[in-house]
Structure 1
Amino acid sequence: MKLPPRPCGFSNIASQMLNRPLLIHPHKVEVLVCALHTKLGIVKMETIDGVTLEAQGMLHQAELAQQQALARDASYDREGRKPYEMSGDIAVIRIEGTLVHKAGWLDALSGFCGYTTLAQRFAAAFADPDVTGIWVEIDSPGGSVAGLFALVEEIALGTQSMGGKPVYAWVNEMACSAAYAIACVCDKVFGPRDAIVGSIGSVIVHTSIAAALEEGGVSVKVIRAGERKYRGNSMEELDEATETKLQTAVDETRDRFANLVSMGRNLPVADVLATEADWFSGDDAVRLGLMDEVLAERTAWARLEDECDRIKRSERERRHLS
């Protein structure tokens, strides 16, 4: 018996993205806000620029993904198959698009990647006796905080530095914010000269449509029981207490992120914070300790293969001696 697809669409994504701390590249914030507000009926995009065009494309992809998911009952029989690609004895896990806690049918086709799906893939790879090492290919601007730190903790515990399997991150263009949080706990981080990494900070985007409602002749009165109930909604201007609370949330998230990078990359927390959430590429990223080396992909892959071969030789020798 097949269970119906679990509802997990734009409303779920919006709950993770709006008025919540985010670990995401600045440009992608604009795209997401445009797309989510349009989909939820809050605003309608009418301008033609890079941000709105990209958001329209995201909406089109999401609608297509929803139709395809419903058509195939949003289920896939993985019995007898691995949830990742294999190249020899190396598992390949790809991380692409905006990262969220539960993507549901909004998978890579529509520009989202779910932490829960990634957690399942990493857990399976760490437990798989056929897997000697893990290659993590990343191209993501980051995403939501919910679910992220639980995922990176599991990855960190499974890496070679913790007695597990070697995990190499390859930055295939971008690993920023939440995506860099994943990269930084891998044993090695490599990328080409134009790879973009960092953005070690947090942001909350609050949108007020109060002025637009007033201009349109719409009067909104919020009747609340409890002074803090429904504060931070889009129909009222942001009050000082709510703004202070949101600022505290992003500050705490940034500190937590910086401590994670400090641990994963063996850097002083002060040095991580000194990056001021900027992004870096190539030699600058290496100089700051955010990447290990600028390498061609085949060279980085060969490094992991060599690491896996050493592990296999060591295991054979151990079995022989015992």
Structure 2
Amino acid sequence: FFKFLFFGYLVLLLVLAWPDNLGKATASAKRHTALVRVEGLIASSTEASAKNLIGALRKAFKDNNTVGVILQINSPGGSPVQAGEIYDEIWKLREQYPKIPVHAVVSDVCASGGYYIAAAAQNIYANQASIVGSIGVRMDSFGFTEAIAKLGVERRAYAAGVNKDFLDPFKPVNPDEVQHLQGMLDAIHQQFITAVKKGRGERLKDQPEIFSGLMWTGAQGVELGLVDALGSARYVAEEVIGEKTILDYTQHTGWIERLLDEVEASAGAALREGLSIEGTPQWR
């Protein structure tokens, strides 16, 4: 029995190790443009997490045959924390590898947290019909006070700490709580604005609506300084970086990791529900 168990364990290790090594050694044996995709919601539990993207970026820059790096972004945004960590890492890698340029290329959408990440690149390219911008912060909630009153439901909540039931959707709106929340959102928004200004510099037009949360097409983004030029990943690789061979470094989560993430997410959701932890601000 133990022999079979040990054999099964070895097979499992091989399965887990195989996807990361398949084809990469030979593919990186020649000069290439590295590609890292930012797809979907930016969150700790998705493939567009700081952990995955930072790992992919580090591998791309570290490869001696990498001529340049393309961040291909198709994301509506997500967690300010995750996007901020990715943004900071890009700047660190730019300083560590000054001879390797990094460019962001927008496919369909590069909004909010997606644009936050793009702002760290040296240049941003997009399709004329791409959607860019949405430089703002939002946090959603609901109010159920009238609904539970009509249904005859009695709210019973127990907490320790004067403000532990902060923004409870089952109680009337508290102006002081709203003011405190708005201060938090304004602070995160200012962090976003500062990051974009650092990345884009004088290329940004002096128009306040850029930071109002509005979105624009890729063509309009060029006029506003949010985008440098129109172009695809292939165009940037061939015409800007000068190396048409593209190697994808994007890290994809395996089925076992996805299963563990699902378990972790479910446990976290149950904990939040039990402790009445509200949602976090989102760049979207």
Determine if the TM-score, normalized by the shorter chain, exceeds 0.5. yes
1:129 has 2:70 as partner: no
Q: 1:305 aligns with which of 234, 241, 244?
A: 241
Query: Over aligned residues, Cα RMSD in angstroms?
Result: 3.0
Deviations 1:58-90 (A, max 9, x none): xxxxxxxxxxxxxx99x842453559x979512
> In the aligned structure 2, how far is the partner of 1:88 from the partner of 1:235?
59
Q: How far 1:299 moved relative to its partner? A: 2.5
Matching of residue 94 in structure 1 with residue 94 in structure 2: no
Give, in angstroms, the shift of residue 146 of structure 1: 2.1
CA contact (8 A) 1:133 1:304 kept: no
Corresponding residue for residue 136 of structure 2 = 201
CA distance in 1, matches of 2:231, 2:127: 5
Please list every run of 5 or more consecutive structure 1 residues that lacks an aligned counterpart in the other structure: 1-71, 108-112, 310-322
- For 2:106 and 2:124, the matched residues in 1 are separated by 7
Matched to 1:169, the amino acid is A
Percent of pairs identical after alignment? 24
Q: 1:174 to 1:161 in 2, by over 3 A?
A: farther
Deviation (angstroms), 1:222: 2.9
TM-score (normalised: structure 1): 0.63
Equivalent position of 2:196 in the other structure: 261
Question: Aligned partners of 2:156, 2:66: CA distance in 1, in Å?
Answer: 59
Measured at CA, do residues 288 and 127 of structure 1 come closer, stay the same or move farther in structure 2, by a change above 3 Å? same
For the residues of structure 1 that align with 2:219 and 2:75, how far apart are their CA atoms? 20
The letter for the 2-side match of 1:97 is G
Report the CA distance between 1:273 and its aligned residue: 4.4
Q: CA deviation at 1:177?
A: 0.4
- CA deviation string 1:238-266 (max 9, x = no partner): 31111111111111111110110101011
Distance in 1 (CA, whole Å) between partners of 2:61 and 2:100 is 7
Aligned with 1:143: secondary structure?
Answer: coil
- Aligned residue in 1 for 2:100: 165
Consecutive unaligned residues in structure 2, runs of 5 or more: 1-11, 246-284
Question: 1:223-238 alignment to 2 at 5 Å?
Answer: 223-238=158-173
Larger RCO: 1 or 2 (CA < 8 Å, sep 6+): 2
Shift of 1:281: 1.3
Q: How far off its partner does 1:210 sit?
A: 3.0
Shift of 1:294: 1.5
Q: Cα 1:233–1:301, aligned 2, differ >3 Å: closer, same or farther?
A: same
239, 243, 259: which one aligns with 2:178: 243
Distance 1:160 1:188, change over 3 A: farther
**Residues 1-322 of structure 1: pairs in structure 2 closer than 5 A:** 76-77=16-17, 78-81=19-22, 89-100=32-43, 102-103=44-45, 106-107=46-47, 113-159=48-94, 163-267=98-202, 271=206, 273-275=208-210, 276-306=212-242
Aligned residue pairs: how many?
Answer: 228
Give the Cα–Cα distance (whole angstroms) in 1 for the partners of residues 82 and 176 of structure 2. 27
Residues 175/210 of structure 1: CA separation in 2 closer, same or farther (3 Å cut): same
Q: Distance in 2 between matches of 1:280 and 1:138?
A: 16
Moved more, 266-275 or 219-228: 266-275
Change in Cα spacing, 1:216 to 1:90, as seen in structure 2 (3 Å) is same
| CA gap 1:204/1:268 in 2 versus in 1, 3 angstroms | farther
Give CA-to-partner distance per residue, 1:281-303, whole Å, 9 cap, x none: 13321111110012355332313
Residues 302 and 202 of structure 1: CA distance in aligned 2, closer, same or farther (over 3 Å): same
